[in-house]
Structure 1
Amino acid sequence: MFPFLWPAHGLLLAALSLAPTRLSCSSLAVPDIPHIAAYFGTKTRYEEVNPHLLRDFLSVNMSVLRPPSTERCSPVHLTAVIRHGSRYPTVKNIRRIQRLSELVRTESSGSSGGSAAWLRDVRSRWEPWYTEDMDGRLVMKGRDDLRQLARRLAALFPSLLSEENVSERRVSFRTSSKHRCVSSVEAFQEGLQQHWGHHEGPPEYSHVEDDQLMRFFEHCRGYVEGVENNRTALLEVEKFKHGEEMEAVRRRMAESLGLPLQRLTPELVEAAFFLCSYELSIKSIHSPWCFLFDESDAKVLEYKSDLKQFWKRSHGHVISSLSSCPLFHHIFRTLDKAGRPRRSTEASPEPASVLVGHAETLLPLLSLLGLYKDQTPPTASNYHSQHGRSFRSGRIVPYAANLLFVLYDCQRGPRLQMLLNEAPLRFPGLPTEDTPLYRDVRAAYRHLLDGCDFQRECEGRAGGRGPNTEL
């Protein structure tokens, strides 16, 4: 049962649930998309990053491909590292949602007329329909995320993601073993079939499950001991969770719901925020829970999420990015092979490689490449100076996020372009060119290509297993 198809008057009551000072007049129009949709961190929809897709999900802008106009170039290889699509909550968050729902049903006593109306409506209409067997599985919207991405990439690279190349197994598909990733790589292949006009029956799926490559973080002992299982590694997150900004959000939410402050933990505040995000990403519904938060609340909760991603998966600790060495080397080995001159008798290299993983796959790799590293790292104490930060996980790794490496054969030699979420992205060491010569890219990353040894970094860094404070 999905009881979220609220009539307009139900949403209006929800909108009126908060004191007038918490809502602007424009909120009463109840747009289809929550006013806080851009602040959901890793639970952000892909459409929030590329809103034009809401009008046309097959919209492709060929101008994002930028080989130099002074040379004749043709794309010869595409490597796409893709995050799975929209998914159900994991068991941990499902349990929090259930606790929050029970708390609101049994202990809330909205004092103002608006709050009381909202509570009556939630109690009578809203059921926590999430069950633990859903546990992070891909939802139908998530399959659509990957199908549509595949169709756009096939339109962008027709000579690489061609029917002939895929049917003759010249395109490789690798994925994490997690159910949501396997379902995503299958949906991607369905999208290719749809692009070619094949709608009869499911395609023959072809993929390899490779957790050493796509879940490298689980296999890096230095990361597991130094960050994952290290209580002090996420100290900034813990401090912010109990800091003044989060406390202010918690107090306002407790007041709106008529709950004793001590009963509403930071985890339950986050659960309500996630409820808004899940119901948008799963059912495209403007959930009544969204009206508990204004934009300033959402920015605080986004920052808390970004702190976690920064200190757990990104630049916060060097070992987090170094754990992605296997994926980094795999990508460059593939590019080396595709760009190498070959005799006419040699088999052509694979035209495309599709790698499906997680936000936890992409963030360390992007960090290793030197991307999204702000001059001042985010901490629990500098929230107000971080509003202009480049490290916003919802912009970088929303559902279906994709990092593309496009290798061109050009007159002066192979060139490489990088795109993130279908937008051009420049290499940090080569900031003036969209598509530098491949040899220059290799030179910029020579220290990683010659080093970045997984065994040495993950097994041999006894001193490096504690948090790295040299950001």
Structure 2
Amino acid sequence: MRVVLKFALLLSLWCTVRCCDDVLEDHLATKSPYRFVGNRNHSRLSFAGCEPSKAWMLIRHGTRYPSDDYVSAMQSRLPVMREIILSKENGIFRSDRDSLRKWKLDFGEEDAKKLTAEGANEMVEIAERMQSRLPEIFSHIYSNTSYNFKFTSTQRTKASAYYFAKGLFGKPTAKDVHFPEPLKQDPILRFYKLCNKWRKEVKHNPKAVKEATTFKAGPMVKKELTRIAKKLGVHEKNLSFDDAHYMYMTCAFETAWSRKKKSPWCAPFDVNSAKVFEYAEDLKYYWVDGYGHDITYKQACPAFGDMLGHLGDTTSPYPKATLYFTHSGTLLKMLSHLGLYRDERPLRHDNYDEHRLWRSSRIDAFATNIAFVSYKCGNEISLLALHQEHVVRLPSCPDSDLCPLSKVRSYYEESLNSCSFDDMCNNTNSNN
């Protein structure tokens, strides 16, 4: 209970003036821009009697373009919806109508899931801030001994790694950084792709997301669809959940892509409707990538063990920084493995009104990152944990920012000693 309350306090501390005004843009789920959640403070991280030694970071790629199926939907359904909306005289405000009339996609399916310019900026800025906070670890001088970069076999993570390097070393040096060839199926960066049990029982099992499915078909969503239809001046029968969801996701993507330009597709929504659509997303990610099923977060033990192996190795001071660029699914499973943002009651279709820690808009925005930093405190090694560049306290040390490595190992003993990945994932005798 005490840990849960501390995490609730942490979330409240994150709340900037803009956030506390509770605007629509704070409820865009996993497509939220990092600038809404990241810690922009460049202050040095220092603790009396302790010296920073190494860092290990798990970083979601920066803001990207939608997947090809979403691009296709945006090309086919949104123009139809636009014409319906513009044909109604008593719909959205004139300024929004003008923006909607001028709206067009300036990218195609060939750009699907690629990193955007804003995604590149996110990586550069995170790197610059980490270097300011921990100059002893994040040197501006590149050495492949000091740095270990790794990314998945996707354009968006590879590009994210490059721009992070650019933020650390500058453009000329970033071009010469050694980036190892990515694995098609990486057991650390995308372990869940190798877990048969999770893929069968959760990822590809409709029953695993029944709470989200039930919520989408329930009275809360129907009420908001009616309100949105009325705001647009269209008959509610002409507005399906899918069409409203396309508008919501386009609002989210376009908000993430641009710091200045407002998406006209945000106009149909207000804070209340955005919260409802956010909750539908939260339910999906809670049950697929979070606490909904034990196998989901237990399978993150290889990544957790990799972190402790790197930071706990006292035989060599190198590499100083291990930097892994990966995806939303990895970050959410790792957060759950750590026991962060765990609500007392599981998220369900019927407890929308309850306060929750699991909010994808804040814990899984684009460029979401988890960092662990080891400190030498006399003869003891302690760990500092950061999420979105904010200091977070681990369940192993709820009353202290720094947590002795021995306490971390003791608290997560099951993860370290029972990480038989193939057994827990039913991979035995598998050709996978």
- Deviations along 1:304-329, one digit per CA (max 9) or x if unpaired, are 11111100100001111122222112
Over 3 Å counting, the alpha-carbon distance change for 1:206 and 1:168 in structure 2 is closer
Three-state SS of the structure 2 residue aligned to 1:432 is coil
Match of 2:30 among 42, 54, 65: 42
Structure 2 distance, partners of 1:368, 1:461, is 23
**Preserved CA contact (<8 Å) 2:91 2:232:** no
Deviation, 1:382, is: 1.0
In structure 1, C-alpha distance between the alignment counterparts of 2:46 and 2:345, rounded to whole Å: 31
Aligned equivalent of 1:405: 372
- The aligned counterpart of 1:452 is 419
For 2:42, give the aligned amino acid: V
User: Are 1:257 and 2:232 counterparts?
Assistant: yes
Letter aligned with residue 79 of structure 1? W
Q: Is the 8 A contact 2:301 2:416 kept in 1?
A: no
Name the CA shift for 1:116/1:427 in 2 (closer, same or farther; >3 Å).
closer
Separation in structure 2 between the aligned mates of residue 359 and residue 45 of structure 1, nearest angstrom? 13
Which whole-Å CA distance do the structure 2 matches of 1:290 and 1:405 have between them?
A: 36
**CA contact 1:145–1:400 (8 Å) conserved in 2:** yes
Runs of at least 5 residues in structure 2 that lack an aligned partner in the other structure: 1-20
Letter of the 1:44 counterpart: S
Secondary structure of the residue aligned to 1:459 is: coil
Q: Is the 8 A contact 1:34 1:290 kept in 2?
A: no
Contact 2:88 2:234 in 1 (8 A): no
Q: What secondary structure, in the 3-state scheme, does the structure 2 residue paired with 1:212 have?
A: coil
Query: How much has 1:110 moved relative to structure 2?
Result: 5.3
Shift of 1:159: 1.5
Mapped to 2, the partners of 1:427 and 1:122 lie a distance apart of: 46
Cα distance between partner residues in 1 of 2:304 and 2:138? 22
| Secondary structure of residue in 2 paired with 1:213 | coil
Q: Is the 8 A contact 2:96 2:264 kept in 1?
A: no
Is the CA contact (8 Å cut-off) linking 1:172 and 1:350 kept in structure 2?
A: yes
Q: 1:174 aligns with which of 141, 150, 174?
A: 150
Whether the 8 Å CA contact 1:39–1:302 is kept in 2: the answer is: yes
Which position in structure 2 is the counterpart of 1:56?
Answer: none
Change (3 A) 1:99 1:247: farther
Q: 1:279 corresponds to which residue?
A: 254
The code of the aligned residue for 1:441 comes to V
8 Å CA contact 1:119–1:257 kept in 2: the answer is no
Question: Which one has the largest radius of gyration?
Answer: 1
Q: Which amino acid aligns with 1:290?
A: C
* Structure 1 residue 365 corresponds to structure 2 residue 340: no
Once the two structures are TM-superposed, the CA of residue 109 in structure 1 deviates from its matched residue by 6.0
Q: CA separation in 2, counterparts of 1:116 and 1:171?
A: 52
| Matching residue of 1:151 | 128
Do the aligned partners of 1:45 and 1:281 also contact (CA within 8 Å) in 2?
yes
Give the equivalent residue in structure 1 for 2:4: none
Give the equivalent residue in structure 1 for 2:11.
Answer: none
2:269 corresponds in structure 1 to 293
2:292 to 316, 319, 322: 316
Contact 1:88–1:278 (CA under 8 A) maintained in structure 2: yes
The answer to whether structure 1 residue 190 and structure 2 residue 159 are counterparts is: no
Instruction: Identify the residue that residue 385 of structure 2 maps to in structure 1.
Output: 418
- Cα deviation for residue 148 of structure 1 reads 0.9
Q: Cα distance, 1:142 vs. partner?
A: 0.4
Shift of 1:177: 1.1
CA contact 2:383–2:404 (8 Å) conserved in 1: yes
Q: Secondary structure at the match of 1:142?
A: helix
* Conserved? CA contact 1:408–1:414, under 8 Å: yes
Which digits, 9 at most, give the CA deviation of each residue in 1:125-171, with x for residues without a partner? Answer: 1223342112111001101100111111111111212144x324321
Match 2:208 to one of 233, 236, 254: 233
Cα distance in 2 for partners of 1:251, 1:324 equals 41
CA deviation map 1:49-108 (0-9, x unaligned): 14x74xxxxx4033xx363x3xx2101110011111111111122222223323224434
Checking the alignment, whether the CA contact within 8 Å between 1:193 and 1:203 is kept in structure 2 is no
1:109–1:116: 8 Å Cα contact kept in structure 2?
A: no
**1:432 equivalent in alignment to 2:408:** no
Q: TM-score, with normalisation over the residues of structure 1?
A: 0.81
Aligned with 2:353 (options 379, 384, 389)? 384
In structure 2, give the amino acid aligned to 1:81.
Answer: L
SS of the counterpart of 2:58? strand
Identity of aligned residues (%): 28
Amino acid at match of 2:176: E
The secondary structure found in structure 1 opposite 2:341 is coil
